[in-house]
Amino acid sequence: MGHEMELATSDTDGDIGAEDFLAVAGEDELRAFLRRLPMVASQQEGPFTLRDLIYEMKLAPFVRSAWQSVDGAPGIPGRLMQMMRVYAKAEADFEAMTGETRRVPRKINLPSFMDIYTTVGLP
């Protein structure tokens, strides 16, 4: 469905691979959450590690909150801009509260965004 992501299977800078973790903790809700991650971004600098997964999971409540407060315009360009603003706000709020930041920059995966936008829908 275009939502695959490369997960680390071995140590990366001291972090364990996310694939091994998911083999044990792959609950349906977690899998659904992970399927949406590529819609938001794709890892450009190395594999997606457990540290990255934990960051995304901690960020999720901030993202849900930001969707409530960030206005968007109709249509694909408007919703894409809204999503970018949502994640910028969520990450800024999360960093202000916890001091944590994303390990590596993430880039929007436009094909996955389009797939989610047209099939599942955005919040």
Q: Kindly compute the dihedral angle of the four CA atoms of residues 37, 21, 103, 48, in this order, to the nearest 10 degrees.
A: -60
Per-residue pLDDT, 51: 83
23-48 pLDDT, tens digit each: 666 566 666 666 666 555 566 677 77
State pTM to two decimals: 0.69
Which residue did the predictor score with more confidence, 89 or 112?
89
48-70 pLDDT, tens digit each: 777 888 888 889 889 889 999 99
Helix boundaries (H) for 9-121 = 18-25, 28-40, 50-69, 75-98, 110-119
Per-residue pLDDT, 26: 58
Distance CA 26, CA 14 (A): 22
Token pair recorded at residue 17: 């691979």
